[in-house]
Structure 1
Amino acid sequence: MVFLPINIRKCHWYLSVINAKKREIQVLDSLGVGMGRSDLTMTLQGLDKHLKIACDMPEFKRGDRWQDLDIMNWTVVDKFQEPIQTDSASCGLFMLNCMEYWTGDILSDNFTQEDMKEFRRKLAVILLETELNKLKGSPIYYRTDNEENVSDNEENVSDSDVEFLEDRKRKRQDSHDGAEDKGPLRNPIMAVDPQDLVDELCNHIMSINDATSLE
């Protein structure tokens, strides 16, 4: 199977699955069958073009699982007839769950709109902790051109790039209500340790319920 995330006009994500065994284009759309599929058609046309180019390569091996490469003639099947998404902001989360649990026939695990609340927080942790995250544990890593005898594994953080969240919050509040200086800050987030800073930042972000403040 080939999993293709599809975006509709920069407003909605869904999953299309190229299932070679069944010769099907399987569509898993959290909003059901009400959305258009022109974006899928364009993606399939591009994939079909590249498959045809690949077939002309001498090193290309079709394999037993890809007997038919003419994907434009495969059947397109919508797997979700009814919406399972009830808000307007979770389509990407539903798509990732479909990629994880789709077996080619069924979902190996069920998930609902309510599950997306927890998965949204879980995904942030997954992205933060992955080994591919080169900024893990620090706001900014840098290495100057004139540094010598520094190993590739050493990671440095510039203190000038660290801002106390309480200070920023106070400035925003002062700007909003015209309040005067309230004196010393209380409990600023100190970068004692990169991981401690990340934990505090995550806690702070998850505590914000105002969309403008988050932006």
Structure 2
Amino acid sequence: PKVHVFSTHFYTKLAECAGGYNHKNVSRWTRKVDLFAMDLIIVPINQGNTHWVLAAINVRERRFEYYDSMGGDDDGRLKNLRMYLVDECAHKKHERLDLEATGWADYYGANHGAPRQTDGFSCGVYVAITAECLRRGAALDLENRRMQYFREKLTAELLRGALL
């Protein structure tokens, strides 16, 4: 699939204002990228420098996805990503995108058996591995007993300069 992965700073900049949403902050982030030609858009989100979650805009399935390994609520993050996609379409394509009329839905991984962490420090590993599973269309097979393996795998890939 065609995948675009936003920087870990993207969502923070998108939500950086009194109202919690500001498209102008990130409107230039896709100058060279047509998000609407993608199958999947991955958005890692840092919550208050204490927890990582993952959101995805699954263009192929027409849904906004939210994965929190602690099972938490999205606190309006999917609403912001909905507004972002509508604004991005207006800004880049000069078209109105009606998500309701075209059948877009919200999907919460916690409601569909996505793995949960059993400690207070593996959220970053869960985000990285969940993003990789989504990118490859693979099952979310993140057993807690395999976290050390996933940590070592990520470390090796980062040291080689290429995620596998």
- Global fold match (TM > 0.5): yes
Pick aligned residue for 1:54 from 92, 102, 109: 92
Q: Of the two, which has the highest radius of gyration?
A: 1
Is structure 2 residue 80 aligned with structure 1 residue 80? no
Find the aligned partners of 2:148 and 2:59 in 1 and give their Cα distance. Answer: 34
1:120 paired residue number: 151
Gaps of 5+ in 2: 1-39
Q: Which moved more, 1:69-78 or 1:80-89?
A: 69-78
| Shift >6 Å, 4+ stretches | none
Matched-pair contact (CA < 8 Å) for 2:53–2:127: yes
**Cα offset for 1:5?**
1.1
Is structure 2 residue 83 aligned with structure 1 residue 30? no
**Which has a greater percent of strand?**
2
Deviation string 1:25-61 (CA, Å, 9 cap, x unpaired) is: 01122122x334234433443343223211129xxxx
**Cα offset for 1:103?**
6.3
Going from structure 1 to structure 2, the CA distance change for 1:121 and 1:14 (only over 3 Å counts) comes to same
Is structure 2 residue 133 aligned with structure 1 residue 101? yes
Going from structure 1 to structure 2, the CA distance change for 1:78 and 1:30 (only over 3 Å counts) comes to same
- Percent of counterpart pairs with the same letter? 28
Find the aligned partners of 1:12 and 1:37 in 2 and give their Cα distance. Answer: 13
Matched-pair contact (CA < 8 Å) for 2:43–2:55: yes
Provide the TM-score with structure 1 as the length reference: 0.47
Say how many residue pairs are matched. 120
Find the aligned partners of 1:131 and 1:87 in 2 and give their Cα distance. Answer: 28
RMSD: 3.0
Matched-pair contact (CA < 8 Å) for 1:98–1:107: no
Provide the TM-score with structure 2 as the length reference: 0.59
Matched letter for residue 132 of structure 2? E
Equivalent positions of 1:11-22 (< 5 A) are 11-22=50-61
Deviation string 1:155-174 (CA, Å, 9 cap, x unpaired) is: xxxxxxxxxxxxxxxxxxxx
User: Which structure is richer in relative contact order (CA contacts within 8 A, separation 6 or more)?
Assistant: 2
Matched-pair contact (CA < 8 Å) for 2:66–2:74: no
Matched-pair contact (CA < 8 Å) for 2:66–2:78: no
